[in-house]
Amino acid sequence: ALRSIGKLSFEQASSYFSYIIMIGVVLVILYAIQIWYRDWFGESKYIYRLLLLPGGRAKIFFAKWTSLALVIISFIGLQWVVIQLSYVIFNWLIKDDYRESSSLGLSMTLKQLYTMSLVDLLIFIVLSLFIVSFLFMLVLLERSYRNAKGMLFIVLEVAFLLLVTIGSMYVIEKLDIFLSQEISAIMMAIFVLYFVYMIWKSLRLLKWKISV
């Protein structure tokens, strides 16, 4: 068996973690939508109490936004703890003669996620919060306009995001006058500007369009 198949590595044994990550991503996306709609639906209509609280409505938005940030960070930390414990169990169950290496080897997906670099971790969290903010904006658009008009605005926002992303890449590629560092800086600037736009748009909808 060792000659035909080879020794077992932790990278092979931990490949299923990628599917757990996908499940976690789906759960975060569903929670980002449910955290708003749960206040509208139900017997208590809790959203009306929130909207009537003294102070700015921006507190409601950032309270939900912060809770999603904590969920994402907690999920990453929990996943890393589970990987470390799984590595200990792997070394305990599999004899040295049957293990390919004693080092903590991860699959390609996990290596990209768990680089143990603070910069990479912050980039991953920011990208996750970008998606959360985009979902928040779509939910608030639907709640502000409702029915067909709300769906139309959602389609327009999705189309606008695709247009900005694909259009920017197309223009940069056609011009072919920028260095790689300059291209990265331009895309980062577009990313930051759209991120700010989503937050501003969501706060504006929550303050002026959603009524009690």
Q: What is the pLDDT of residues 8-42, one digit of tens each?
A: 877 777 777 778 888 888 999 999 999 998 888 86
Q: Across the chain, what does the average pLDDT equal?
A: 85
Q: With DSSP H G I counted as helix, E B as strand and the rest as coil, what are the percentages for the chain, rounded to 5?
A: 80, 0, 20
Range of the domain at 115: 10-209
Which residues partner with 8 through β-bridges? 99
- How far is it, in rounded angstroms, from Cα 190 to Cα 184? 10
- 163, two tokens: 């247009």
The verdict on residue 2 lying in a domain is no
**Domains in the chain, number:** 1
The verdict on residue 4 lying in a domain is no
Eight-state DSSP code of residue 8:
B
- How far is it, in rounded angstroms, from Cα 189 to Cα 148? 33
Residues across the chain: 212
Could you tell me the pTM of the whole model?
0.86
The verdict on residue 5 lying in a domain is no
**Which residues lie below 8 Å from residue 8, measured CB to CB, with a gap of 6+?**
94, 98, 99, 100
The verdict on residue 1 lying in a domain is no
The verdict on residue 23 lying in a domain is yes
The verdict on residue 3 lying in a domain is no
At 41-72, the pLDDT tens digits run 866 678 888 888 787 889 999 999 999 999 99
Q: What percent of the chain stands above pLDDT 70?
A: 90
Positive or negative: CA dihedral 198, 200, 206, 210: negative
Mean pLDDT of 184-201: 93
Mean pLDDT of 108-123: 73
The verdict on residue 82 lying in a domain is yes
